[in-house]
Amino acid sequence: MRSVLRRREAGIALALLVVIGVTTAVQPGFLLTANGWRDLLLTPAILVVLAVGQAVVVITRNVDLSVGSVLGLTAYLTGRLFIAEPDLPIVVVTLVAVAAGALLGLINGSIVAFARVPALVITLGTLYVYRGVTLTWAGSDRIDAADMPHPFLALGTQQVLGVPVLTVVAAIVLAAVAYYLHTSRGGRQLYAIGSDPDAAALQGLPVRRRLLGAFALGGALAGLAGVMFAARYGTVSSGAGLGMELQVVGAVVVGGVAIFGGSGTVAGAALGAMLLLTINRALPVVGIPDFWQRAVVGVLIIGAIALDRVLANRRSRRLAAERDADPPATSPPGGAAPPGGAAPPGAGPNDREEATT
Partner 1 sequence: MKFTSVLAAGTAAVLALGLTACGSGGGGDDAGGTDAVTITVLPKNLGNPYFEASTTGAEEAGEELGVTVEEVGPDTASPDAQVPFINTAAQQGVGALVVSANDPTAIGDALEEARSAGTKVVTFDSDTEPQFRDIFVNQASPEGIADKQLELVAEQIGGEGEIAILSASANATNQNAWIALMEEKLASDYPDIELVETVYGDDDDQTSFDKTAALLQSHPDLKGIVSPTTVGIAAAARYVSTSEYKGKVAVTGLGTPNQMREYVEDGTVEAFALWNPTDLGYLATQAAAALAAGDITGEEGDTFEAGRLGEFTVGADGEVLLGDPYVYDEANIGDFDF
The residues that touch partner 1, with contacts defined as CB under 8 A, are 27, 29-30, 33-36, 39, 43, 135-136, 139-142, 144-146, 156-157, 229, 233-237, 239-242, 280-281, 284-285, 287, 290-291
> Minimum distance from CB of 289 to partner 1 (Å)?
9
Q: Specify the 3-state DSSP secondary structure of 212.
A: helix
Closest approach of partner 1 to the CB of residue 99, in Å: 24
By beta-carbon proximity to partner 1, the closer residue of 72 and 218 is 72
Instruction: Compute the least distance from the CB of residue 71 to partner 1, in Å.
Output: 10
Select 159 or 195, whichever has its Cβ closest to partner 1.
159
24, 32 in Cβ contact below 8 A? yes
Nearer to partner 1, 71 or 220 (CB): 71
Residue whose CB is less far from partner 1, 27 or 350: 27
Select 36 or 206, whichever has its Cβ closest to partner 1: 36
d(CA 256, CA 51): 12
* Beta carbon of residue 30, minimum distance to partner 1 (angstroms, whole number): 6
How far apart are the C-alpha atoms of 79 and 147, rounded to whole Å? 7
- Residue 161's SS3 state is coil
- Looking at the Cβ atoms of 158 and 263, the one nearer to partner 1 is 158
Give the H or E element holding residue 220: helix 207-233
Q: How far is the CB of 234 from partner 1 (least distance, A)?
A: 5
For partner 1, which is the closer residue by CB, 149 or 206?
Answer: 149
Least separation, in Å, of the C-beta of 205 and partner 1? 33
State in angstroms the smallest separation of the CB of 190 from partner 1. 30
Distance CA 13, CA 38 (A): 19
Report in angstroms how near the CB of residue 131 gets to partner 1 at its nearest.
Answer: 12
Identify whether the C-beta of residue 282 lies closer than 8 Å to the C-beta of residue 52: no
User: Minimum Å distance from CB 84 to partner 1?
Assistant: 17
Cβ nearer to partner 1, comparing 229 with 320: 229
Q: Whole-angstrom Cα distance, residue 54 to residue 43?
A: 18
Distance of CA 240 to the CA centre of its chain: 19
Q: Rounded to the nearest whole angstrom, what is the least distance from the CB of residue 56 to partner 1 in the complex?
A: 24
Query: What does each C-alpha distance from 62 to 117, 170, 187, 196 come to in angstroms?
Result: 10, 23, 15, 12
Which residues are CB-neighbours of 37 under 8 A, at least 6 positions away? Answer: 31, 162
242 Rama sector, left if φ>0, alpha if ψ -120 to 50, beta otherwise: beta
Instruction: Find the angle CA(232)-CA(236)-CA(239) to the nearest 5 degrees.
Output: 120
Handedness of CA 159, 162, 167, 171 (dihedral sign): negative
How far, in Å, are 24, 171, 266 from residue 57 at the CA level? 35, 19, 11
71 close to 133: Cβ distance less than 8 angstroms: no
- What is the DSSP annotation of 304-340? HHHHHHHHHHHHHHHHHHHHH--GGG--TGGGGPPTT
Q: Specify the residue, 71 or 266, whose C-beta has the smaller distance to partner 1.
A: 71
- Residue among 155 and 216 whose Cβ is closer to partner 1: 155
